[in-house]
Structure 1
Amino acid sequence: MQLLSLLALVTSAAASAIPAAAIERRQTCPNANANALASAKAAFTAAKIVPDVIPQFNPTLEVSVNYNGKAVNFGNTFNTVETLLEPDFSITAEKGYDPKTTKYTLIMVDPDAPGPALPILADFLHWIVSDVQPKCITNQIRKQVASYMAPTPLSVSPHRYTFLIYRQPPNYVPPPSLQYLPANRALFDLAGYVEEAKLQGPVGGNYYREGQAQNVCLLLPGCTQDGTGYQPPQE
């Protein structure tokens, strides 16, 4: 009996030794790192995603995207084989919003179709997913609004394939559109869609680059995936 009492006392003391802040962290979703948010904003500005795609960008959450384990990292390069299948993605929680009840929409667009020199088909819609929640919500049920369409860049110069996260209003229903069909994705009106859907943001984003130079480099020895060692013709 004395041994059991001693064990109970030790267990109680150990529990009380855990700081309240640590217990709270275990029970809440992680928020974005301030430095990471500043870097994301700077990357979008440097790549001219602002203002080519969106008029401004003040991220409040982080967006992680990966293709079969290879992470999208603000302008790194991929080839067509690597992006053939739908990527995995997650977001952090947003300060001031309950991760259990706040939901988001991911929109993936190409602002450089068919090529950066003359993007007459921009924005080209590649993907829309609604009812996204922070990664700590393990029972979230996402909805495919527009199925994933793998990039097939026609230009040698790489395109800026851009992922944007928007906050949804309560009781959100995505607006209907014929552009959800795979054969009708060109000239997507991103700003018009966001306005019609009453989405807020973007509150987060990420992007990568992909062009024919990356595909050619699959076959050329000494040519790296960012195009080094390959001299493309003038477009």
Structure 2
Amino acid sequence: MFLSVLTSVSEQFTFRCRNFLLYLFVFCNFSKLLIIDVKGYENGMKKTDIVNDYLEKGRVLLTTGQLADALTNFHSAIDADPQSYLAYFRRATVYLAMGKSKSAVSDLSKVIELKPDFTGSRVQRGNVFLKQGDFNEAKIDFQTVLQSDSSNSEAHNLLDLTIRMSQKMQQAENSFRNKDHTNAAEIFSEIIEVSFVNQKPKSIYIYGRDMGNIQNFLDV
């Protein structure tokens, strides 16, 4: 009798120990997952804070005209988070202020890749293309913006300007081919007020202006 009671108690104790060990195992693993999740959240918050700090410092430096220092901060923001579209956009703004349009276009293209619905970046890139004399690329950007936001007045105005400049470019080139250098120079002088980066209209304008002056001299 005593032996059977002892056996029963032993079995119950063993069962409870097993349950306790099982509970302990589950608790330990759950705790590990919880700790990992909390650490991941904390690291994510720290990363966001770091990026925001660089962005804010860069913004302040940009507004005070300290372009090189602003650029350094935006570089650091991108290094901390390569998926931050805002960091690329602000760095593009600095590049434009520095006259580095090629680098600006690269960053604006990255912004469009990361956040396609951010129309400001596409308008800005289209404006750079317009100033470079890349009228077809500019039209594509402005038209794309208007497809999603038909009330965007800036895109409308820039698209109209791009179309006018493209037409003037065609007129100027036709005049130049017809040896009407004076007229070509006059038209190109209007174009380079908008598309001042592109060296093609500028060089043809200078040549046309000089040829027109020579022709006027010969006609006297």
Does TM-score exceed 0.5, indicating one fold? no
Larger radius of gyration: 2
Judging by fraction of residues, say which structure has more strand: 1
TM-score (norm 1): 0.29
Q: Which has the higher contact order (CA 8 A, sep 6+)?
A: 1
User: Whose helix proportion is higher, 1 or 2?
Assistant: 2
